[in-house]
Chain A
Amino acid sequence: MNRQLIPTLAIAPATPALADWALNLPVGVTSISRTAYGLHMLAFWICVGIGVIVFGALFWAVIRHRKSRGVVAATFHENLRLEIVWIVLPFLVLIAMAVPATEALVAMNDTGNADLTIKITGQQWRWRYDYMDAGIGFFSSLDPKSAEASKRGSGIDPVSVDHYLLKVDNPLVVPVGKKIRFLTTATDVIHSWWVPALGFKKDAIPGFVNEIWARVDTPGTYRGQCTELCGVGHGFMPIVLVAMNEPDYQTWLKQMQTKQAQETAGAARVWSRDELYAKGEEVFGRICAACHQATGLGIPGVFPALKGSPIANGPVAAHMERVMNGKPGTAMPAFSTQLSDVEIAGVITYERNSWGNQMGDVVQPAEVKLARK
């Protein structure tokens, strides 16, 4: 039964999905999102009201006070009483908006007494979720089908792709009815984490931690995107949040814990060259190809080619050093904190033996583990 849970997540019914030709904010599924929606509609109707009065007067003048109707212009050019009225009245309207907005802000800032804490780390161009209390963590990247279809000249109709650009490999799973404290941060550039149904976005800033909270009321799948320009993959780092009832959530949590324990164990054994190459190809396509391209040619002047590069065709130690610690001041991040030993070993093996690079050597997960120390 546990085994079947993960596949069902991927096809969980799309909930308050935003329909074609949508016009308005979604109401959302948290108290914050409902408050935001209420304020939005209050401000909207106030604007409509002011618009009707002001534009009404303007168009009345345009229609009635025309020279072509033989109107002779009046000469008045001030009226102190009127001017005081249209300073004081808008001020009162502003107060009417500011009071509920202040209450909402105070409530949003109350991150105390959370039931669980999830750290969200943005990086170019995927999210990492760490469950601080349960000891699990994983990356969440764009669904490969969307990634493939979004390539220029792919010939794939985006409409034929399930939740085009809004689907991920590993969604963020949360229990309903629990107060969740989200901590947002980043490893490289600034990102911003936004799920409209939760009612907020929060910037993920390298070197700093922001906090925000949500309590999801209704089980379902909620989708969002990165909302701070973060480079060429900015449009391609979606967020999928799956809210589950507590028992389902506990089942999912146990499953993830088991899976991660198995992965750690797998890192201890010796891997064959083919196994590493296959692992590396998968990791490269998912993570490295966004910059270095699937062809290994990079983008001249922006992202260096790996095909024939001195690092991929030089000593293994230097290659590991670059992948694990990155290159400061560039888009090349330190992957030692982002990828597992197996993944790093695989991707280095792949890079040294692809696109005409023929080093013939392999890097074992154990070597990566050693290099971490």
Chain B
Amino acid sequence: MADIALTHDQHHAPRGGLARWLFTTNHKDIGTLYLCFSGLMLLTGGSFAMVIRAELFQPGLQFVEPLTYNQMTTMHALVMIFGAIMPAFVGLANWMIPMMIGAPDMALPRLNNWSFWLLPFAFTLLLSTWFLPGGPPAGGWTMYPPLIFQTGAAFPFLIFAIHLMGISSVMGAINIITTVFNMRAPGMSFFKLPLFVWTWIITAFLLIAAMPVLAGVVTMLLTDKYFGTSFFNAAGGGDPVMFQHVFWFFGHPEVYIMILPAFGIVSQIVPTFARKPLFGYRSMIYAVVCIALLSFIVWAHHMFTVGMPLAGELFFMYSTILISVPTGVKVFNWVATMWRGSLSFETPMLWALAFIVLFSIGGFSGLMLGLAPVDFQYQDTYFVVAHFHYVLVTGALFAIIAAVYFWLPKWTGHMYNEGLGKLHFWLSAISVNVLFFPQHFLGLAGMPRRIPDYATQFAGWNMVSSIGGFVFGASQLIFLYLVISTVRSGAIASDQVWEGAQGLEWTLPSPPPYHSFTEAPDVP
């Protein structure tokens, strides 16, 4: 018996060199691959953002032509959403879910390998469009027809890249659901699962429901362009607005795909550094379920100005502002968790606190945008740009950074440099507000989004925003250095790592063994 176990272990020990990463079926290796890929895409998408902010630093065109500018905004969004934020959450899920539920690995390891390795191909397709005649798509990441049909040779590359990303996401989601439903240690009932696992199950169901809709609607674009169909062409009996309806039926759940795991991360971090159990564990879960269900009936708030019937506008306005109730429950519960706790402020906690405050600001502007009669003023202005960057940068990205600081000592066995981590935090937290807060003012004062040049009255706040952008971008290089140096060396981290840490993952050594739990652990 022992012999069998031994050979079994040897068989699964990491291979050397490149083969380890190409053929790995190990959840930690694949999690690492996802996170490294996400980091690379973050830098790529970030560099596009720097070009955008450089061009907007002053009125007039200084650096790029309008076409290149539109390509920058389109590619920035596609790379950040599908390349940076979503893979980062999948990477965190891969690393943490088996350890949190007491499993040795993911349920479907080969599928896991495949779902990761589709991504480099998807993004090679997408990014190779920079070298095609006409360059990358310039019609916005929302790909609205008829404008998107004016894309040059890049058009099919865009569509097939999205197909590959979608397949990758759906396979990742299937794997997570299968793992959590089948691989929990004995005694790990659903209402003992950590919030991160819960939010990820719900996210996985959203992915399975939403991504095929996106795949379908981009395929309709493809047939409209090349095979003579007229889904979105009024002259052929179609309707360009139908694309927007179908796209946002995917698009709004997609928004929550990028924020629910962030809720989960913050729900792990806040109790740890408050040294107090999460307030309202069950109501947190019910709130996430409510948000997920509501996400399927609010889509048209992205398109209030297309000319819907009054009844439609009213329905989507009511359902949209209703989302603030369960979202409010989450924020109130985090604050109640901290109330009368014994708080300490290590770097992960700082990022989580910034998340709660800044994500709430994004929530406030979201509530305002949900009021249809005022949305007719806000729609497609910088107010919207400010809103979704507050929820995606200071929301999703801040949670991802918090998670990396939180779990990096567990993954590597090394403590990161706390001083540098705090420097990274304060530089980022201040500059990100200098970057995005003035964009509220720009939008209210009348600056439309997606324009390469602007009227001179917008010059002041744009310059401030750009300066914030450059500092925020540069600050992330500290993060890059910190992660690399922590992987290589650093003070030895204990198994528990954080004084207030609770859960199965903290019972494993730091770094954990190649197979997390080869024997089922005792669940308290």
Q: Does A311 contact B (CB under 8 A)?
A: no
Chain A 310-354: CB-based contact to B (< 8 A → 1; otherwise 0) = 000000000000000000011100000000000000000000000
Write the nearest CB–CB distance from A67 to chain B, whole angstroms.
4
Q: Does A1 contact B (CB under 8 A)?
A: no
Interface residues of B in 314-359 (CB under 8 A from A): 314, 317-318, 321-322, 324-325, 328-329, 331-332, 335-345, 353, 356-357
Q: Does B182 contact A (CB under 8 A)?
A: no
Given that A22-B457, A73-B276 are contacting pairs, would A54 and B332 also be in contact in the complex, using a CB cutoff of 8 Å? yes
Interface residues of B in 419-461 (CB under 8 A from A): 441, 444-446, 448-457, 459-461
Write the nearest CB–CB distance from A24 to chain B, whole angstroms.
5
Given that A86-B328, A165-B453 are contacting pairs, would A39 and B276 also be in contact in the complex, using a CB cutoff of 8 Å? no
Chain A 182-225: CB-based contact to B (< 8 A → 1; otherwise 0) = 00000011101010100111110111101100000000000011
Q: Does A270 contact B (CB under 8 A)?
A: no
Interface residues of B in 364-405 (CB under 8 A from A): 364-365, 367-368, 371-374, 376-377, 379-381
| Interface residue tally for chain A (C-beta within 8 Å) | 107
Bound Cα distance A327, B371 (Å): 41
Contact across chains for B325 and A94 when beta carbons are under 8 A apart: yes
Contact across chains for B324 and A94 when beta carbons are under 8 A apart: yes
Bound Cα distance A91, B305 (Å): 26
List, in ascending order, chain A residues with CB within 8 A of B446's CB.
18, 26, 196, 224-225
Write the nearest CB–CB distance from A14 to chain B, whole angstroms.
10
Q: Which residue of A lies closest to B338 (CB)?
A: A61
List, in ascending order, chain A residues with CB within 8 A of B283's CB.
78, 83
Contact across chains for A202 and B307 when beta carbons are under 8 A apart: yes
Q: Which residue of B lies closest to A50 (CB)?
A: B364
Q: Which residue of B lies closest to A39 (CB)?
A: B374
Contact across chains for A208 and B448 when beta carbons are under 8 A apart: no
Q: Which of A86, A104, A157, A235 contacts B452 (CB 8 A)?
A: A235
Bound Cα distance A154, B453 (Å): 13
Contact across chains for B240 and A36 when beta carbons are under 8 A apart: no
Bound Cα distance A22, B361 (Å): 20
Given that A57-B339, A229-B139, A301-B152 are contacting pairs, would A105 and B313 also be in contact in the complex, using a CB cutoff of 8 Å? yes
Q: Which residue of A lies closest to B62 (CB)?
A: A152
Q: Kindly name the residue among B70, B313, B317, B453 whose own CB sees the greatest number of chain A CB atoms within 10 A.
A: B453
Contact across chains for A207 and B234 when beta carbons are under 8 A apart: yes
List, in ascending order, chain B residues with CB within 8 A of A104's CB.
373
Bound Cα distance A318, B354 (Å): 63
Write the nearest CB–CB distance from B469 to chain A, whole angstroms.
18
Contact across chains for B342 and A73 when beta carbons are under 8 A apart: yes
Interface residues of B in 34-75 (CB under 8 A from A): 59-67, 70
Q: Which residue of B lies closest to A166 (CB)?
A: B455
| 9 A-B pairs closest in CB distance | A207-B234, A301-B133, A235-B451, A301-B134, A210-B307, A22-B445, A104-B373, A47-B364, A73-B342
Q: List 19 A-B contacts (CB under 8 A).
A: A18-B446, A18-B457, A20-B460, A25-B445, A54-B332, A55-B360, A65-B339, A65-B341, A67-B275, A71-B341, A73-B341, A102-B317, A158-B456, A164-B456, A189-B146, A205-B307, A228-B144, A231-B70, A330-B150
Which A residues have a C-beta under 8 Å from some C-beta of B?
17-26, 32-33, 35-36, 39-40, 43-44, 47, 50-51, 54-55, 57-58, 61-62, 65-68, 71-79, 82-83, 86-87, 90-91, 94, 97-98, 101-102, 104-106, 108-109, 149-154, 156-159, 163-166, 188-190, 192, 194, 196, 199-203, 205-208, 210-211, 224-236, 299-302, 329-331
Known: A76-B279, A210-B306, A329-B225. 18 other contacts (CB 8 A): A23-B444, A25-B377, A40-B368, A40-B377, A47-B368, A55-B360, A62-B343, A62-B353, A86-B328, A91-B325, A188-B146, A189-B147, A192-B380, A199-B377, A201-B376, A205-B306, A225-B446, A225-B451
